[in-house]
Amino acid sequence: MTRSDILETALQCVTVDRAATHGDAERTFGRIAAIWSARLGVELSEEQVCIMLVDLKTCRAWGNPGHADNWVDMAGYAACGGEIATDA
């Protein structure tokens, strides 16, 4: 995959595909933040959840760098986290 392919696929995922399947990303990240905060005893924000999910995909990519989905998901989580953090 080219970098353009990765970004275009991530764009499709975060604006159409996964939104239709999983619902509003901000709401989902908020729910994850609430659950992880309760489990860890540390308050997490929605954007911090995105960072943690990028970390998950980083670890997966480390073990299997040729699996394009990891790179696509990293780009998607980064875009979602950046949007949330900057109130775009």
User: Cα(first)–Cα(last) distance of the chain, in Å?
Assistant: 28
Q: How confident is the model at residue 17 (pLDDT cuts 50, 70, 90)?
A: low
In angstroms, rounded to a whole number, what is the distance separating the alpha carbons of residues 30 and 20?
18
Query: 66: which DSSP letter?
Result: T
pLDDT digits (tens, 9 = 90+) for 40-81: 999 999 999 999 999 999 999 999 999 999 999 999 999 999
Give the residue from 87, 59, 73 showing the smallest Cα distance to 17.
73
Q: Which two tokens stand for residue 58?
A: 């980083």
